[in-house]
Amino acid sequence: MAAVIKLILRMLALMPLPVIHAAGYLLGTLFFLVPNRRRSTTIVNIKLCFPELGGWDHWQLVRRSLVETTKGALESSAMWMRGSKRVLKLVKGVVNEQLLVDAYARGKGVILAAPHLGMWEIIGLHMSARYPMTCLYLPPPIAGLDKTMIQGRTRLGGRVVRTDARGVRTLFKRISNGELTAILPDQDPSRGQGKFAPFFGIQANTMVLLSRLANKTGAVVLCAWAERLSFGRGYIIHLKETDKLVTDSNVSASLASLNYHVEQCIRQKPEQYLWCYKRFRTRPEGEAKLYTH
């Protein structure tokens, strides 16, 4: 299985980005037309987070989301094997780049809160070519892809550590030494590793790791997301300042602020968010499940 997937990745890496996006459009449209789990989860999430949308607008966002998500699945995997120069050329600009320059100059480290919005894989590649950067790493379910993923994410100078106690300690030290890291803040963490905080007005199990790292190290927290440009033209990385509440010692206040800033990023390009992810899978005690599949 791993050998077959690697072959597919190599083929994707050779394809021009417009071709990958065209394939993503066709496959994504198929996912929209044919009932499947991705489609079901996307419908539920968009209905929960955008209750104001009428029937037509709701279904249009569902369709566009599945198309963009499929583009992302094809392009992000291809980035692991695409030539470094070709990857870096795909970034057409960085909005508010001075925020990162100033934050890094403070010497206390920078945490990029990078939600599942747009092409998040390219953020780490672009930034690690410019700054010392260490990120947490979750091994893929297919063991044979482990080495491929690590090589793909570290080939421009970045480093990765496993998502275990030792890895977190290493990440803490490197942030304290002034390095960058990027963390996906909108995952549904395991029991005991998250607390509930509002996200689009819904209680969502939210990781506490980012908030605690920021509070203990004094690192600057910036939101980061990479907008996918139309017709395979590349990406624009957006950086957004967060308020001091994100680093507050009051975890509830910190998580609420973090989710608020992530939500504001998503609202800029809601169709490029990963709505097929079961973000609200874990519910507060006594609440019914929101997903039936």
Residue 114 lies in a domain: yes
Residue 109 lies in a domain: yes
- Please enumerate in sequence order all residues whose Cβ is within 8 A of that of 5, keeping only pairs 6 or more positions apart, or say none: 142, 144, 145
Residue 246 lies in a domain: yes
Residue 247 CA, chain-centre distance (Å), reads 20
Q: What's the CA gap between 255 and 261, in Å, rounded?
A: 10
- Read off the pLDDT band of 292 (50, 70, 90): confident
Looking at the whole model, is its pTM more than 0.85?
yes
Pair of tokens at residue 154: 């570290």
Residue 33 lies in a domain: yes
Given a cut of 80, is residue 256 above it in pLDDT?
A: yes
* Per-residue model confidence as pLDDT tens digits over 95-146: 999 999 999 999 999 999 999 999 999 999 999 999 999 998 887 777 777 7
What is the count of structural domains for the chain? Answer: 1
Weakest mean pLDDT among 49-53, 69-73, 162-166, 271-275: 162-166
Residue 287 lies in a domain: no
- Read off the pLDDT band of 3 (50, 70, 90): confident
**Residue 138 pLDDT:** 83
Q: What's the CA gap between 71 and 82, in Å, rounded?
A: 16
Weakest mean pLDDT among 143-147, 232-236, 249-253: 143-147
Q: Which residues form the domain of 32? A: 2-272
**Residue 214 pLDDT:** 96
Given a cut of 80, is residue 77 above it in pLDDT?
A: no
Residue 283 lies in a domain: no
Residue 291 lies in a domain: no
Given a cut of 90, is residue 94 above it in pLDDT?
A: yes
**Residue 163 pLDDT:** 87
| Amino acid at residue number 239 | L
Residue 62 lies in a domain: yes
Q: What's the CA gap between 21 and 30, in Å, rounded?
A: 14
Among candidate residues 85, 87, 112, the one with its CA nearest the CA of residue 97:
112
